[in-house]
Amino acid sequence: MIIVMRPHAVEAELEGVTALIASLRLSAHISKGAERTIVGVVGAPNDKETLLAQFAGLDGVEAVVPISKSFKLVSREAKRERSIVRVKPGVSFGGTTLAVCAGPCSVESREQLEITAEAVSRAGANVLRGGAFKPRTSPYAFQGLGEEGLKFLREAADQHGLVVATEVLDVRDVELVSRYADILQVGARNMQNFTLLREVGGARVPVLLKRGIAATIDEWLMAAEYVYGAGNHDIVLCERGIRSYDQQTRNLLDLSAVPVVQELTHLPIIVDPSHGTGVRALVTPMSLAAVAGGADGLMVEVHPNPAAAFSDGPQSLTLAMFGELMARVGPVAEAVGRTLPEAATAAA
């Protein structure tokens, strides 16, 4: 349930609420907004009706709202207005300005990143993506450059006024990756790695949570609930396609997830048409569709020479193709009341 405090409730009244929560061995998640404080109560109480009345009777409490969904803190019942995840000035997810993350699948070299960062920032992206720790189906495939790759990402992003989004694969690396990254990506294969979710929930950097390869929307939002419950409220969801039977595309990009998720949760959601289709020619049309359908941003794989990419070459755009994509996304964004990020190069 959610306890909504009165607009001018004092600290002692809030303490009265948290003391009752603690005495019932439930947990409290406090969000202090500009207007009022909201307390999320999580746990399995024996007698809900009595409990609702008990909280409603406390000083400073305006309303007690039971939450019917299995995910609570991330639900729209808990917070009606959409959340905006602010990464840095000029980079946020969920406002009227879109976030555009672009870069190679894998970080391969300093030069590759430098060329890519320059081009994507010139085209209007505001987040540099790239994997330094790669989750590969085959243990013999390129596994990533590790910390060296993180350094290349940081350097190239700083050089071109971008922020860094990169995957963290393992709980043991959360601290290391957080030192270099502005956004921690939890990949599709780790969406239900609950220890990792808790660990990134303790990080001070926003989390980009990709949808699992065969995850339902409810499972995905429960994964977000782990991160939120562990204390990190800066979560961006990323639809990246789900496993299906059709052989024409790598995954089935579920664009209906965008409005469904926006109905169920206050968290922002972006779309990754690169993994979502696996086919270069489909990335631009599906980017346009995602923005038209209300996505808060895009994640696109871009490589200076896709034919030579260490991973995901067939779905990577060339630098020129990414420029064309951005030029075509602009008018679609405008048609749905959104704008592209301000040119990072102008800001840098």
Q: Which residues bind ligand PEP (CB under 6 A)?
A: 105, 131, 135, 187-189, 210, 240, 275
Which region among 111-119, 199-207, 235-243, 309-317 touches Mn ion (by CB under 5 A)? Answer: 309-317
In the bound state with ligand PEP, the residue whose beta carbon lies nearer, of 2 and 183, is: 183
Tell the smallest beta-carbon distance from residue 130 to Mn ion (Å).
9
In the bound state with ligand PEP, the residue whose beta carbon lies nearer, of 26 and 279, is: 279
Q: What is the DSSP string of 237-259?
A: EEE--B--S-SSSSSB--TTHHH
Two tokens at 157?
A: 């992003």
Helix ranges (H only) for the chain are 11-23, 48-56, 110-123, 147-159, 174-180, 194-201, 217-229, 257-264, 273-277, 280-292, 319-335, 344-347
Residue 257's alpha-carbon distances to 31, 94, 121, 149, in angstroms, are 27, 16, 28, 32
Contact of residue 135 among Mn ion, ligand PEP, none (CB under 5-8 Å per partner type): ligand PEP
* Beta strand pairing call for 163-167 and 183-186: parallel
Which region among 100-108, 175-183, 190-198, 241-249 touches Mn ion (by CB under 5 A)? Answer: 100-108
Contact of residue 210 among ligand PEP, Mn ion, none (CB under 5-8 Å per partner type): ligand PEP
Which region among 46-54, 110-118, 210-218, 307-315 touches Mn ion (by CB under 5 A)? Answer: 307-315
The amino acid present at 157, given as its one-letter code, is A
Task: Name which position in 312, 326, 333, 338 contacts Mn ion (CB under 5 A).
Answer: 312
Which region among 62-70, 101-109, 179-187, 199-207 touches Mn ion (by CB under 5 A)? Answer: 101-109
Q: Do residues 236 and 267 lie in contact, with contact meaning Cβ atoms separated by under 8 Å?
A: yes
Residue 198's alpha-carbon distances to 36, 170, 214, in angstroms, are 27, 12, 21
Tell the smallest beta-carbon distance from residue 176 to Mn ion (Å).
21
In the bound state with ligand PEP, the residue whose beta carbon lies nearer, of 1 and 208, is: 208
Is residue 272 involved in binding Mn ion (CB under 5 A)? Answer: no
Q: Do residues 191 and 215 lie in contact, with contact meaning Cβ atoms separated by under 8 Å?
A: yes
Interface positions with Mn ion (CB under 5 A)? 105, 312
